Structure 1
Amino acid sequence: MSDSMTAGSRVAQVDALRGFALLGILMVNVWFFADSSHLTGGRDPSTASPVDLGIRFAVATFFEGKFYLLFSLLFGYGSVVLAAAAGEDRTRLMTRRLIFLGVLGVAHGLTLFYGDILLTYALAGTILVAAGPAGPRARLGLAVGITLGMALLLVAVAVLLPVGGPAAGDLPAMPISPTATPAEALAANAATYGVVLPSVVFFQGPLALAAFFAGSALAMLGVLRPAVPPRSILWRVVVLALPLGLAGAAYAAYLDVWGGGSAARVLATALSVVTSPLVTVGYAAALLLVLGSRAGRVVTAVLAPTGRLSLSNYVAQSVVLCLVFTGYGLGLMDRLPPAVVVVVVVVLFAGQAAASSLLLSRYWTGPLEWTLRHIVRRVPRKGSGPDGA
């Protein structure tokens, strides 16, 4: 495939990156379904097994805070592509798109997954649209400023917290618990959504907005369009970003799992805020290197269809996890060992990759993507569409 792309065509590498982000998001989100203690800090290190703690540490180090940032970067990137394709109608079309995502996010959060990010995306996206005239340098500056500001705020909170006291992010008396019936599952999820939503909006929201700005700046600078960066540059990004980022992420995960106090947990979050962007950029560069290698066609064939149907797959993940772990289905919350939960993630994503490929061999888009385009453009337009669609 040629690296040169027109304004309205898709870049397979972008879809593959989006599919990769979905895999990482699934690995993070599954614990909110599988483990009733996850929302309030996870299992007690003094009673959990070494294997369970090792899995928790690995997920915190390699996944938490990294992949939703990658997805957010791509959202910002896609906003620029969509705006270019929309021409004079860009504001109206983007507004409709954000309203749709907001409404879908509320429905998703109330009924399926209380940690939904779509409403937060819609709110942060309105700020991104309002910053339309800002150039790439200003957007990168805003991204760095927001990220560092959030980290410094968390450090200040950690300093002010009493050692061993309740963490700022702790949510006492959470209504989420193992459920046995669909009615119980719906009630528990809706109640938890009301409690969790402010922290998602006011913590993840600014960080997502920072990634939106960074992604839109990269699109303006021509990264991936019209060509993927040279391999020498990608290798340089991997070498400079990943070792430092993962070292910081590992220390943050250690503080989170074994730190033993509220201040340590908040400090771990602050460190994660700073180091996660490095890991995210390193992951993206590493995957682009893989996609340009001999194995690239196989990896693209697995990831790109999944990423092309990212909205449908994101919601479908919640549906399947609800059926496995809550009263909507089997009710296996707290009943599967963490190692088996990881297997569930691998099997589910493999199924989504196969289903996405099969669906795209018969149809031109997915159900939620079709609905979004129909509402935004009023007329369902056939074709693959730009990367942000």
Structure 2
Amino acid sequence: MSSASSTLLPSASPAPSRIAEVDGLRGFALLGILVVNSAAFASPYFGSGLPDPAFSAPLDSAVRFLSTTLFESKFYLLFSFLFGYSFTLQLASARRAARPHHPAFLRRLTLLLALGIAHACLLYPGDILTIYALMGLLLIPLQRLSPRRCLLLAVLLITALSTAVAGLGVLDHWAGTPPTDAVETADAVANTLTHYREGLLSTIRFNVEEWSESVWLFLLLYQGPHALAMFLLGLAAGQKGLLESGTLPDRILWRAVITCGPVGLAGGLALALAGELTPGAGLGTIITGLTDLTAPSLTATYAAGLLLLLRRFPGGWLARGMAAAGRMALSNYLTQSAICSLVFTGYGLALSGSVSPLFTLLFAFAVYGGQLAVSRLWLRFYQQGPAECLLRAFTHWQAPRLPRVTRHAPGG
């Protein structure tokens, strides 16, 4: 689902003030988002509760199992955390410039909402930008909370939501709710593939219907509160400046990896097992609720592990590539959907339902590697990505202007 180091909003401060670790984390989150979204594009069975019967070989099951365990419901949480963290950077930037922050932030959210709606209708109904735009409004009244209260409220939100989902599963189990209907799911899959194979206009019509009739509401009610909880954790971390250089000691990061990793991995494994074994509707929902509770732990593990890696190899190609991709997060996010649409839908090859989970995973990594390289190349000439430029211009109510990198002659 970049601004002065913001998630999917452009920088409000000059490039030298950027925080490399924040950009690197955001660039890393793009990989997880792409892996999950590619799977959704590639298989109409994604999210149905049933594995794709066309790809039931042991290798297919193993790849799906790995992807679900390590990627699903983890990386939009990292993006959300960075969104909240970046909000504090935007506030600080506005204070330094002695300008009001909230009007600019509201304009930013307005254009983010418009981009999200266009993205959902034209490319990918599972868009997360609209959710960020709507839930981001709550950051304005919540900004006065202390870090301790932000942390407490975030924990309460995650716990309450997870308990509610698991509770619905218990009720379904007691009521004997039948498992996912394979015939009904197959009909829905056939309808999706028909729209994709009829071409561009049919694909757009399908996206509009999917998003407007059900997807946006599901994302708002389900992912929205989880995103808000991570906004709050990012807000607390930003108030403490935890991602400033040297603020967060390596021993704390190692402790996060060691303590959070097993908890988050256990939840991911449970979700993957449920996806392959297809338990009854009630049990599947209970597992989803428990996974929601543990997903932030695996997200924290990834973030801590990547920070340790970036600190170990600060000038390596991976660190530079991820930081460059993170500086262009919005442009890269939209580009990912455009590429997937060209490959899997009626925009181009319409390969949805025709490729294996392994092909899809390798495809995602190939696209991501290309984005790292292209982002580094682009930023050699320009200070921002094209989408970041547009969003920054609207935020500050200026004409769009893509600033070039200034190069000084030797001795000049």
Q: TM-score, normalised by structure 1?
A: 0.92
Q: Deviations 1:10-50 (Å, cap 9, x if unpaired)?
A: 01111110010000010011111100111322425797222
Unaligned runs of 5+ in 1: 1-6, 385-389
Partner of 2:37: 29
Q: Quote the Cα distance in structure 1 between the aligned partners of 2:108 and 2:202.
A: 32
AA aligned to 1:354 is A
Structure 1 position 331 matched with structure 2 position 344: no
Q: Which one of the candidate residues 315, 324, 336 is aligned to 2:334?
A: 315
Instruction: Give the 5 Å matches for 1:70-89.
Output: 70-87=78-95, 88-89=99-100
AA aligned to 2:293 is V
Partner of 2:104: 93
Identity within the alignment, %: 38
Answer whether contact 1:83 1:94 (CA < 8 A) is retained.
Answer: no
Against the structure 1 CA distance between its residues 127 and 357, is the aligned structure 2 distance closer, same or farther, given a 3 Å change threshold? same
Q: Which one of the candidate residues 131, 144, 155 is aligned to 1:133?
A: 144
C-alpha displacement at 1:226, in angstroms?
4.8
C-alpha displacement at 1:260, in angstroms?
2.1
Q: Quote the Cα distance in structure 2 between the aligned partners of 1:296 and 1:154.
A: 44
Q: Quote the Cα distance in structure 1 between the aligned partners of 2:347 and 2:54.
A: 32
Partner of 2:193: 177
Structure 1 position 193 matched with structure 2 position 214: no
Unaligned runs of 5+ in 2: 1-12, 406-412
Against the structure 1 CA distance between its residues 337 and 160, is the aligned structure 2 distance closer, same or farther, given a 3 Å change threshold? same
AA aligned to 1:313 is N
Answer whether contact 2:51 2:275 (CA < 8 A) is retained.
Answer: no
Answer whether contact 2:268 2:291 (CA < 8 A) is retained.
Answer: yes
Q: Quote the Cα distance in structure 2 between the aligned partners of 1:285 and 1:155.
A: 28
Q: Quote the Cα distance in structure 1 between the aligned partners of 2:309 and 2:147.
A: 27
C-alpha displacement at 1:221, in angstroms?
1.1
Answer whether contact 2:261 2:298 (CA < 8 A) is retained.
Answer: yes
Q: Quote the Cα distance in structure 2 between the aligned partners of 1:47 and 1:223.
A: 44
Answer whether contact 1:305 1:353 (CA < 8 A) is retained.
Answer: yes
Instruction: Give the 5 Å matches for 1:207-356.
Output: 207-294=226-313, 297-356=316-375
Q: Quote the Cα distance in structure 1 between the aligned partners of 2:290 and 2:301.
A: 17
Q: Quote the Cα distance in structure 1 between the aligned partners of 2:134 and 2:246.
A: 31
The alignment yields a C-alpha RMSD, in angstroms, of: 2.1
Q: Quote the Cα distance in structure 1 between the aligned partners of 2:53 and 2:346.
A: 28
Q: Quote the Cα distance in structure 2 between the aligned partners of 1:296 and 1:245.
A: 30
Instruction: Give the 5 Å matches for 1:3-22.
Output: 9-22=17-30
Q: Quote the Cα distance in structure 1 between the aligned partners of 2:82 and 2:147.
A: 15
Answer whether contact 1:241 1:279 (CA < 8 A) is retained.
Answer: yes
Structure 1 position 152 matched with structure 2 position 163: yes
Q: Which moved more, 1:95-104 or 1:46-55?
A: 46-55
AA aligned to 2:280 is G
Against the structure 1 CA distance between its residues 200 and 327, is the aligned structure 2 distance closer, same or farther, given a 3 Å change threshold? same
Q: Which one of the candidate residues 328, 338, 357 is aligned to 2:376?
A: 357
Aligned length in residues: 376
Q: Which one of the candidate residues 53, 60, 69 is aligned to 1:61?
A: 69
C-alpha displacement at 1:191, in angstroms?
1.2
Partner of 2:3: none
Answer whether contact 2:166 2:287 (CA < 8 A) is retained.
Answer: no
Answer whether contact 1:154 1:269 (CA < 8 A) is retained.
Answer: yes
Q: Which moved more, 1:7-16 or 1:171-180?
A: 171-180
Q: Quote the Cα distance in structure 1 between the aligned partners of 2:357 and 2:292.
A: 25
AA aligned to 2:178 is G
Answer whether contact 1:34 1:336 (CA < 8 A) is retained.
Answer: yes
Q: Which one of the candidate residues 369, 374, 378 is aligned to 2:388?
A: 369
Q: Quote the Cα distance in structure 2 between the aligned partners of 1:206 and 1:285.
A: 23
Q: Secondary structure at the match of 1:225?
A: coil
Against the structure 1 CA distance between its residues 68 and 253, is the aligned structure 2 distance closer, same or farther, given a 3 Å change threshold? same
Q: Which moved more, 1:366-375 or 1:230-239?
A: 230-239
